Structures are given as structure tokens and as C-alpha cells.
């Protein structure tokens, strides 16, 4: 398996992974799996090889990402008899100084440490996992693939906030996220990709992207993944005066505000408890007003953003739904599309393949 590329895609309480090999001109998954519920009593680990040589489904308490990664490594050591070609890591934010997918050299890791302020909820965890993975899978190159890179094609008018220009020079700009997801969808559609496409990546984290001829020209998330539409626990865009008011008149400092907008807002706040869309839909069906409000705000925000991107693109030919909600909730898709018939746009569902997209980039970097 010298040609195998291990891809690691970490979340707040999960770790998705895969080993990819080149077949028929593209990357194919030889192994895929996930560790879910990390740090919870109901954690689980599953992995399956395409040739049937590995088929594991276990319920385990995994205390940390490191614990989950070690279990993956143990399984690979048992079944792989040749070294990997590389390890690829999904990294949410490259910060202002890392603008391309690249090898994780000491200098690159130092640059990411300096960028922690831009993604304090994501980068520390990513860096810790990278260090552990480099220790476990030593002797092979490790590469970082960033969610921000796909959006580097956005024009300056889409990336620059209406603040004094000196702040943009300090890196306070719109970066955009979910780029690996969007790029994988562009690849999956191939010739079926329309010139004017809006992609809605709808999951617990959610964003939209305006794609013109395969290139990102606008996206809803901003300097951080907290911006844009309301999400499971994130507020999305707010009037800046709201935060100023809360700092002045409530006992909320910067750390408390960060917790508020990232972990205690969105669907969870509007519904007074739930951040899971299936649970919210069930409550709405039973006449729950709070759940109805949460769903209506979510769908309205998605619909408004699609309308805005119709203006950016000069019309919309195709609307693509992806992510856990976008792929699996027909009810949400229908509510979003209700009222958009005037666009005369086709719509379809396309599964995101972030791990496969990371493998593609890593293969290119390995080959040079």
C-alpha cells in the first residue's frame, strides 16, 4: 500500500478517515471509517475496507481525538503491510499567511500557531492532532489541506469588509469555509456543473457558495466559520451593534461572547434546546412554535442567500444541496426552494466528498 494516502478529517467530537489509492484516473477509497461521540459514553468506531479485509464496528469510550487516532493506527498496522505514501489533514483555517495546500513543515506549523486567533475553536485541536499523527505515522510526508483555499478566487469586493483598510492588511477579511466540500462537488458534477451554480452545504455548520464557471466568487461565512446563516449552535451574521450592546450592558467579555455566538446560539437557541434538524422537524410536526421558528429562520436565511447570489451571478442555473441536512432532508430542501421558482433554476443533491478531495490534493503534492 505504498501508494495509499491516509486522510484525517477531524470534528469537535468526531474523526472521519480514509485510505485512498489511485484507480482509473482518480482517488478511490480502499478504507473508510469514522470515530463518533469522542469523549462521550456512547462513542463508536467503524471502518471498512473495500476488499473486505477490514470490517470493524465497535462501541467504545474514546476520551480524545488522540485515542481515536491510535485505534485507527492499530487497525492499519495490523492490516497494512507497506508504508503509506502520505497523510493528509483537513485544516479549517489557513490564516492570513498560508494560502495554498502544503506540506506540514515546522515553518508551516508555526504559521498556523500564529493564526490561532483567527480560528480559536478549530486550529488548536487540528494542530494537536497533526502532532500526534506525525508521531504515529512518522517517516511519511504530512500535508495540510485548507477549507479556505477554494475561495481564494473571490474578488476583492467580496473579501473586504467595510472597515479601515489597515485591518484588511492585518488579515481581517472574508476567507470563507467548506471549500473542500465545494471543490469536491465541482469535481463530482464535472460537465454537469452549470455556469451559474449556488451550492448550499447544510449541516450543523452551514454555508453557501456562489460558483461561476467552477470558481468561488462569493460565500456566506466570513473571517470565521461563525458568520453567514444561522446554524446548529452558531448565530451566523449579527448586527455589530448587538455585540457592542452585550459587552456594555451584560456581563459578557470576549470569551463569553465567543461561547455565545459559537455554541449557544442558532437552532439551539431559537428552539430552546435542540440543535438537531431531525428533532426540530419532529417537534414542528407536533405544533411546537419554537421549533417552527428555528426552521423558518434557517430556511429563510438560505433562501435569501440564494437570492443574493442570483444577483452576484446574474441568474442561477443550478442549486446544489449537500451536507447532512442538505442531502437527507427533503422537507428542508422543499422549504428553501419555496418562493424561488422565479429563478427557473434546476436543483439536485450531491454528496460531499471532502476526504477524497484531500486525497487528490495530497497526491498532487506527493508527485510534485
Note whether 196 and 292 are same-domain residues: yes
pLDDT of the residue at 40: 81
Asked whether residue 180 is domain-assigned, the answer is: no
Asked whether residue 312 is domain-assigned, the answer is: yes
Ramachandran angles phi, psi of 95, nearest 5°:
70, -175
Asked whether residue 357 is domain-assigned, the answer is: no
Answer yes or no: is pLDDT of 240 > 80: yes
Answer yes or no: is pLDDT of 1 > 70: no
The fraction of the chain above a pLDDT of 90, given in percent, is 85
Note whether 282 and 229 are same-domain residues: yes
* pTM strictly above 0.85: yes
184-207 average pLDDT score: 98
Asked whether residue 179 is domain-assigned, the answer is: no
Mean pLDDT of all residues in the chain?
Answer: 95
Note whether 213 and 343 are same-domain residues: yes
190-211 average pLDDT score: 98
Answer yes or no: is pLDDT of 236 > 80: yes
Q: How many domains does the chain fold into?
A: 2
213-227 average pLDDT score: 97
Answer yes or no: is pLDDT of 269 > 60: yes
pLDDT of the residue at 338: 97
Note whether 197 and 292 are same-domain residues: yes
Asked whether residue 117 is domain-assigned, the answer is: yes
Q: Is 253 a known active-site residue?
A: no
Note whether 39 and 120 are same-domain residues: yes
Answer yes or no: is pLDDT of 120 > 90: no
Q: How many angstroms separate the CA atoms of 115 and 241, rounded?
A: 26
Q: Which conformational region is residue 123 in: left (phi greater than 0), alpha (psi within -120 to 50 degrees), or beta?
A: alpha
3-state secondary structure 157-197: HHHCCCCCHHHHHCCCCCCCCCHHHHHHHHHHHHHHCCCEE
Note whether 237 and 138 are same-domain residues: no
C-alpha cell at 16: 472521519
Q: 349 has which bridge partners?
A: 321
Note whether 208 and 339 are same-domain residues: yes
The fraction of the chain above a pLDDT of 70, given in percent, is 99
Q: 209 has which bridge partners?
A: 199, 219
Note whether 236 and 326 are same-domain residues: yes
Asked whether residue 161 is domain-assigned, the answer is: no
Note whether 123 and 272 are same-domain residues: no
177-202 average pLDDT score: 98
Q: 7 has which bridge partners?
A: 18, 88
- Provide the Cα torsion 21, 185, 216, 213; round to 10°: 100
Note whether 116 and 227 are same-domain residues: no
More confident residue, 293 or 76: 293
User: Domain range holding 73?
Assistant: 5-146
For 293-330, what is each residue's pLDDT tens digit? Answer: 999 999 999 999 999 999 999 999 999 999 999 999 99
pLDDT of the residue at 14: 84
Alpha helix (H) ranges present in the chain?
Answer: 65-79, 106-114, 123-136, 156-159, 165-169, 179-189, 240-249, 254-263, 266-271, 277-285, 289-313, 323-328, 330-337, 354-367
Task: Find the CATH number of the domain harbouring 48.
Answer: 3.30.420.40
Asked whether residue 230 is domain-assigned, the answer is: yes
Asked whether residue 362 is domain-assigned, the answer is: no
pLDDT of the residue at 89: 98
Of the candidates 59, 107, 147, 338, the residue annotated as catalytic is 147
Note whether 213 and 271 are same-domain residues: yes
Note whether 106 and 204 are same-domain residues: no
For 20-71, what is each residue's pLDDT tens digit? Answer: 999 999 999 999 999 888 878 788 989 999 988 888 888 877 788 888 899 8
Amino acid at each position: 500500500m505504498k501508494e495509499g494516502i491516509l486522510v484525517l478529517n477531524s470534528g469537535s467530537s468526531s474523526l472521519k478517515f480514509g485510505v485512498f489509492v489511485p484507480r482509473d484516473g482518480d482517488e478511490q477509497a480502499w478504507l473508510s471509517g469514522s470515530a463518533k461521540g469522542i469523549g462521550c459514553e456512547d462513542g463508536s468506531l467503524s471502518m471498512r475496507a473495500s476488499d473486505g479485509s477490514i470490517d470493524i464496528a465497535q462501541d467504545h469510550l474514546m476520551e480524545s481525538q488522540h485515542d481515536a487516532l491510535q485505534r485507527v493506527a492499530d487497525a492499519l498496522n495490523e492490516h497494512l503491510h507497506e508504508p503509506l505514501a502520505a497523510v493528509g489533514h483537513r485544516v479549517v483555517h489557513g490564516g492570513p499567511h498560508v494560502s495554498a495546500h502544503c506540506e506540514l513543515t515546522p515553518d508551516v506549523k508555526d504559521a498556523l500557531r500564529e493564526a490561532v486567533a483567527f480560528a480559536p475553536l478549530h486550529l488548536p485541536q487540528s494542530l494537536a492532532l497533526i502532532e500526534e499523527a506525525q508521531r504515529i505515522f512518522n517517516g511519511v510526508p504530512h500535508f495540510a489541506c485548507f477549507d479556505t483555499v477554494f475561495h481564494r478566487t473571490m474578488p476583492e469586493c467580496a473579501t473586504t469588509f467595510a472597515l479601515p483598510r489597515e485591518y484588511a492588511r492585518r488579515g481581517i477579511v472574508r476567507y470563507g469555509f467548506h471549500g473542500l466540500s465545494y471543490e469536491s462537488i465541482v469535481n463530482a458534477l464535472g460537465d454537469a456543473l452549470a455556469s451559474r451554480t449556488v451550492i448550499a452545504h447544510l449541516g450543523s455548520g452551514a454555508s453557501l457558495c456562489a460558483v461561476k464557471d467552477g470558481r468561488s466568487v462569493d460565500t456566506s461565512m466570513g473571517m470565521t466559520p461563525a458568520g453567514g446563516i444561522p446554524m446548529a449552535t452558531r448565530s451566523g451574521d449579527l448586527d455589530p451593534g448587538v455585540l457592542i450592546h452585550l459587552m456594555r450592558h451584560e456581563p459578557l467579555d470576549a470569551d463569553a461572547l465567543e461561547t455565545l455566538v459559537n455554541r449557544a446560539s442558532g437552532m439551539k437557541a431559537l428552539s430552546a434546546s435542540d440543535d438537531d434538524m431531525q428533532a426540530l422537524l419532529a417537534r414542528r410536526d407536533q405544533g411546537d412554535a419554537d421549533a417552527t421558528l428555528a426552521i423558518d429562520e434557517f430556511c429563510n436565511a438560505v433562501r435569501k442567500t440564494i437570492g443574493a447570489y442570483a444577483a452576484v451571478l446574474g441568474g442561477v442555473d443550478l442549486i446544489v444541496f449537500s451536507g447532512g441536512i442538505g442531502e437527507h432532508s427533503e422537507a428542508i430542501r422543499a422549504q428553501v426552494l419555496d418562493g424561488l421558482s422565479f429563478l427557473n433554476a434546476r436543483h439536485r443533491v450531491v454528496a460531499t466528498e471532502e476526504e477524497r478531495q484531500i486525497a487528490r490534493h495530497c497526491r498532487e503534492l506527493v508527485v510534485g
